[in-house]
């Protein structure tokens, strides 16, 4: 068993690791200069207390924990039930963000995936109660930067808009993981971009796949713009999964 897996089995080690992650996030944020674009889209929901599905790529999760601060609205983020998901969930708690544990990939397979159906019900209930859900449309296993239909299914059932968000930093390390995780360095310059809300529930003739493609394109656009503003070339999405035969 690897050292990481052993650590993730220990509650004490999990708490310590989560505290270290939270410290690093705060340290990077405090030592860097941040520009926020499109904040009016987020603030409109805060002021009206309207629920929304906040969508972001799995590889851009880290600094979005501080992007939400200042709101009196509850935020819960969908996190996988894998061991590393427990570490992420504990880290989020230190920023006042709750977790919904389960899978996000495909609503048609939710009953077959561990916790998928229960997670979908919980997310819809959170939204109907007037709160917000954080969602990684390409999580928990990819393909990278490709939106699955789960984010649209959740928004449609709750009749809530999808609010895309992305960030980038000039100094960074791209981890060689499936999601090319964006790890920002301290003492840098960062950009957070909030996109316009996406209505995926009013047009009942639009398929889940077509709506998911709109979400994907919106997220790619703001992610590429954030990277450009920080001096980086666009990060290519992974090859799209082929539909089941």
pLDDT digits (tens, 9 = 90+) for 38-90: 999 988 888 888 899 999 999 999 998 888 876 778 899 998 877 678 888 89
Tokens of 229: 């503003």
Position 213 scores a pLDDT of 97
Given this model, what pLDDT does residue 80 score? Answer: 82
Instruction: Give which of 95, 219, 210 is closest to 162, Cα–Cα.
Output: 219
> Across the chain, what does the average pLDDT equal?
88
CB proximity list for 181: less than 8 A, separation 6 or greater: 58, 59, 62, 174, 175
Residue 111 pLDDT > 50: no
Compare 69 and 113 and report the one with higher pLDDT.
69
What are the tens digits of pLDDT across the range 181-231? 999 999 999 999 999 999 999 998 999 999 999 999 999 999 999 999 999
> Does residue 102 have a pLDDT over 80?
no
Backbone angles phi, psi at 50, to 5 degrees: -95, 135
Q: Are 90 and 15 in contact (CB under 8 A)?
A: yes
The arithmetic mean of pLDDT across residues 238-243, rounded, is: 78
**Cα–Cα dist 101/122, whole Å:** 9
CA distance 152 to 111: 17
Sheet with strand 98-101: strands edge to edge: 33-37, 189-194, 162-169, 53-55, 132-135, 75-79, 98-101
Summarize the chain as % helix, strand, coil (round to 5): 40, 15, 40
106 pLDDT band (50/70/90 cuts)?
low
pLDDT at 112: 47
| 0.95 exceeded by pTM | no
CA dihedral 201, 202, 205, 208 (to 10 degrees): -20
| Cα 54–Cα 170–Cα 179 angle in degrees, nearest 5 | 50
């Amino acid at each position: 068993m690897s050292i990481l897996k052993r650590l993730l089995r220990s509650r004490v080690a999990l708490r310590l690791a989560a505290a270290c992650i939270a410290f690093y996030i705060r340290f990077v944020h405090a030592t860097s200069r941040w520009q926020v674009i499109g904040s009016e889209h987020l603030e409109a929901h805060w002021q009206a207390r309207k629920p929304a599905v906040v969508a972001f790529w799995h590889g851009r999760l880290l600094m979005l924990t501080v992007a939400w601060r200042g709101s009196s609205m509850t935020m819960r983020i969908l996190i996988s039930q894998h061991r590393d998901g427990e570490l992420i969930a504990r880290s989020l708690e230190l920023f006042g963000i709750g977790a919904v544990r389960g899978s996000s990939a495909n609503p048609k397979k939710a009953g077959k995936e561990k916790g998928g159906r229960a997670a979908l019900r919980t997310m819809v209930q959170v939204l109907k109660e007037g709160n917000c859900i954080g969602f990684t449309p390409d999580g928990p296993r990819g393909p990278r930067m490709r939106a699955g239909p789960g984010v649209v299914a959740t928004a449609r059932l709750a009749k809530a808009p999808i609010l895309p968000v992305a960030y980038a930093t000039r100094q960074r390390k791209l981890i060689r993981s499936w999601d090319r995780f964006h790890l920002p360095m301290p003492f840098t310059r960062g950009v957070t971009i909030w996109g316009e809300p996406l209505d995926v529930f009013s047009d009942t003739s639009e398929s889940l796949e077509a709506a998911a493609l709109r979400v994907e394109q919106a997220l790619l656009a703001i992610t590429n713009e954030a990277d450009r503003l920080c001096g980086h070339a666009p990060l290519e999405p992974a090859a799209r999964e082929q539909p089941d035969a």
